Structure 1
Amino acid sequence: MVAGATSQASAALRTYPVAPGVALNVRSGPGTGFSIVRTLPAGTSVPIYCQCPGESVSGTYGTSKIWDNISNGQFVSDAYIQTGSDGYVVPKCS
């Protein structure tokens, strides 16, 4: 069990780059109808704590309904995050 706990901690610390040249809006929920909490400057990398389904967004990395939780109450569209996958890369948000 210790090895599993270590891998989960490592996964939480991994960061993923925002698409090049994109200032990305961070929203309070998984859709563009949610309020903007802040804007990430171009060149930022973010941790992804969990992912959830939400509004479909077309961005630099295709069209996705996946939204990434990067902090408490802060979500960005996965279509603008370079995860290397079109699917979930971390557990779904509960």
Structure 2
Amino acid sequence: MATEDIVITGAAETADAESLAAATIRTYPLAPGHNVNVRSGPGTHYPIVRTLSAGSSVPIRCQCQGESVTGPYGTSTIWDNIANAQFVSDAYVHTGSDGYVAAKCS
């Protein structure tokens, strides 16, 4: 993925800052061979809003603590926010870390 510098100047500062924030969101692959449920909150008791196909990648906007889940990448209480009110367990996302790789959700 190419990296490009973004310079923030003048009246467009707010729009450019939002573009910069969106540009810094990384995507991560889901565990191979697993369809992953996307939930409306950080736990399996939240409703499923959609299911991602095996081989998909997800953007991680922020991360938060939630229900403990065991998956292909171990047991984790970290949940990844991939869109507005859409969360997946970090135990199914290959981030290369057992800890946070994005800002904590506020």
TM-score, length of structure 2 as denominator length: 0.80
Give the corresponding residue for 2:4.
none
Q: Indicate the structure whose relative CO is greater, using CA pairs within 8 Å and at least 6 residues apart.
A: 1
How many residues are paired up? 91
In terms of fraction of residues, the more strand-rich structure is 1
Task: Indicate yes or no: 2:48 matched with 1:16.
Answer: no
- Name the counterpart of 1:93: 105
Structure 1 unaligned regions, length at least 5: none
Give unpaired runs (5+ residues) of structure 2.
Answer: 1-6, 9-16
Encode CA deviations 1:4-42: one digit per residue, 9 max, x unaligned.
x68744431x21000000000000000000000000000
SS at match of 1:79: helix
**Structure having the higher Rg:** 2
Partners of 1:11 and 1:66 in 2: how far apart?
Answer: 20
- Per the alignment, residue 45 of structure 1 pairs with 57
Distance 2:22 2:38 in 1: 24
Counterparts in 2 of 1:19-30, with a 5 A limit?
19-30=31-42
RMSD: 1.6
Normalised by the length of structure 1, the TM-score is 0.90
Q: Deviations over 1:29-62 (max 9, x none)?
A: 0000000000000000000000000000000000
In the TM superposition, structure 1's runs of 4+ consecutive aligned residues that sit over 2 Å from their partners are: 5-11
